[in-house]
Each structure stands twice: as C-alpha cells, then as structure tokens.
Amino acid sequence: MQAIILAAGESSRFWPLNQKHKSLFKIMGRPLIFYLLKELKKAGLKEVIVVQKPNRDVERELKNLPFSQLKITYTIQKKPTGTGDAVLTAEDFIKDKFLVLNAERVDCGKWVREVIKKGGKEKKTAVLLSAPTTTPWLFGNLKIKGDKVLDVVEKPKKGKEFTNLKTVGLYLFPKEALFFLKRFTKNPYSLIETLKTFAKKGDLRWVKMKKESLHLKYPWNLFDYAEHFSQALKLKILGKVERGAQTKEKVFLGKNTLVKKGTLIEGPVYIGENCQIGPNCYIRGTTFIEDNCKIGNGVEIKNSIIGAGTKISHLSYIGDSILGEECNIGAGTISANLRFDGKEIRVLVKGEKISTAFQKLGAIVGAGSQIGINTSLMPGVLVGRDCWIGPHSFVSENIKDKSIFYNKFQKIIKKRR
C-alpha cells in the first residue's frame, strides 16, 4: 500500500502563517507533516509520495528528519489546480491501490488501518473517511445508505446538506481512479467528481470517526491541534528550574532551558530547548513555546503558540494567540482576547468576515514581525509577516505583510455614558 500526501496548496486562508505550506507549521519542534508520516509508518506503510510546490519547501524541511524504513518520493504540482491534479503528478509511481491524505492529517492513526480494512480485497472499491460536524456546509457532504456512499457534494448550500457527515481528507482508491481523475482535469473539484463516479457505480464505502476531526484551513484551527498534542504531554524536565519557580501538572521543559525564580507554569505546557522564562512569569495551559524563545520578567501567556526564536519583553500579556517565528514583542504589549459584549469573534479573511466559533481569540502574528512597547492588539486581528508596529499603537484591523504601522489615540472620540 502506498500513500499520496497532498502538500502543494497555496494555504491562502492560513495567512499570515502561510510563508510555507501550512503542514510545515511547527509544534513541539516538528512540522505537522512529520506527525502524519509517523502515523503512517506506525500503520505499517513503507512508501509515501509527497506532492509539493515547485519551491520544494516540504522536501527541504523533511530531508534531515529521521524516517528509516519509510521511502519518501517527491513530485511537483506546478500550479495549484486542485487535489485531483495533485494526485495525477504521482501517477508514474502508483503500483496498485493507494491512499490519498491531506498533509496535516495528524490524527489519522488507527483510521488508516480501518479504511484499508474496509476496502478489503475488492479490486474496484474506493473508501473515504468521514466525521460528524456541526458545519456540514463547509466540507464535502455525504449521502449514505448502510456502508455505501450514494453521493458526495462539495460545500452544499446551508440547509441543503444530506447529513451531518463530512469528508476529512483520507481516501483509499483503486488504480483505476487515475482514469476518472483524467476525465475531470479541468474541474478544480476533480477528486470529488471521481468520488461521485465511484458512488454511482456502487463502489464507494465509508468509515466514520467518532468525533469531529481536526482540520487546518484557518490559522486559529491550530488551537485544536495544540489541544490534540497536549493530550500526550507528560511531566519531563530536561532544563533547569530555579528555586522559587514552580511547574504543575504536565510540563515539558527542553534541554538548556532555564525557568527563573518567581515563575509559575501550569500544564499542559511545552517549552522547547534553549529558552529563558522569567523571572516572575505565569505560563498557563495549553501553551507551546518553541526553541530559542526568551520570555521576559512578569509576562503572562495563556493558551498560545509561540514560534521559535520569538522574544516577549517584560510585563506583556499574550492570551489565545499565535506568534510566528522570530517575532519581537515590546514591553507592556497586550493581546486582548475577549469582546466587551462577549460575542463570538469573527475574523476578516480575504475580504470576508469568518466565524471562528471562539468566544476568546487574541492576535495571530506572522513571522519576523516587530511590535513596539505598550501596543494593544484587539481580538482576532491578523498581523502579517515582517511588519513593524510602532510603540503605543492600537491595532484593531488586519495589517498586511511588510507594513509599517503606527497610530495612537490622542483624544476621546466619544464619551461613555
């Protein structure tokens, strides 16, 4: 059995964290695609084909990672013209039945084995993995009867869904699927059209996950991934904790990391190697701080992901936020994470206000951005890569990549009653 991993998309809705393919975002020092490969190896697969962009970003990230006994072949999708076209780039390497997976499918685990088992020895049967969802109109939606799929519709109109079941980016195809994919090459949803063809022939089966699966479309979806990885965290202290500092519950502390006195870390929390935390910090779960970070005096961090090499100066608060690699956060900077009215936070993505389903969401900041002292980041703002935010700024709207931004309230615009 071979697996084709799709890692060539633009990840445009993942901005401002899409400098590389979204599956290359790192948690616990490894890109997400690493955890998928680990799961496939555990499931017994020996060979995978990774479809990537012409810049070969995935290949560069994976070449130094340990994957003995797992053969990895790379193909190039020249233009992002759909998942079906991506699969066809691997045609010359496909021998028989094959799996197709989205590159961020880190929770596939036992489901790979279940899907293969469902396909059995049938030569012409295709199988897909599904999961229940509260938003079926955002995904591929299934019409079913028994263990057969009768139809698949991509993003049906709200209220017109067949069921509450969605496709989750794990499929098993017989080799003849390549023939159907070629018939639909001009259709960006050629993979869905191929699934429809198998459904009409009565050869499409389904396997159901027990709960809603992880999916990575928008950057705030990373919080679900953080929760997923936090389940496996255990207390492990490889660095040094000074007298007067405390760690509680599941805390991982990497090599050469120093936690200074007066600091309290309440797990689940992951802190990588060569970091300095404190003094007098409060780090709350679920937080992931990657390698080479420096967290200054009196900083509080809660339910956030902090990219490698990022520095957060003293007396700052980072809550429900994601900071890319090599950011610099000035002293006294606050990421607000709750609206006054307590309503769900919506985020502007590609000109459209998107529901996050979160009541608490802070800022998401791209790699390399520098934020001046005493800056206020309002709930749900996106700050692009390599930006300069001046001191005392009030950031209430998204800021594009490589921008220089500065503003300051100089008068009361409207008196409170």
Catalytic residues: 314
* Two tokens, residue 117: 């088992």
- The neighbour count for residue 79, using CB atoms within 10 Å, is 10
- Tell me 75's DSSP state: E
Q: Who contacts 92 (Cβ-Cβ below 8 Å, separation ≥6)?
A: none
Handedness of CA 133, 134, 138, 141 (dihedral sign): positive
Half-sphere exposure of 269 toward its Cβ, with a 13 Å CA cutoff?
A: 25
Q: What are phi and psi of 263, to 5 degrees?
A: -90, 140
For 84, phi then psi, to 5°, come to -60, -45
CA–CA distance, 226 with 216 (Å, rounded to integer): 12
| Contact yes or no for 61/31 (Cβ under 8 A) | yes
Handedness of CA 161, 163, 169, 170 (dihedral sign): negative
C-alpha distances out from residue 263 to 28, 241, 246, Å: 21, 9, 6
User: 228-233 long-range contacts, Cβ below 8 Å, gap at least 24?
Assistant: 228/106, 228/107, 229/27, 229/28, 229/270, 229/288, 230/268, 230/270, 230/285, 230/286, 231/268, 233/267, 233/268, 233/269, 233/270
Contact 289, 295 (CB under 8 A): yes
Q: Which residue has the tokens 């709350």?
A: 284
Compute the half-sphere exposure of residue 181: CA atoms within 13 Å on the CB side of its CA: 19
> Which is it for strands 388-389 and 404-405: parallel, antiparallel or unpaired?
parallel
Beta bridge partners of 248: 266
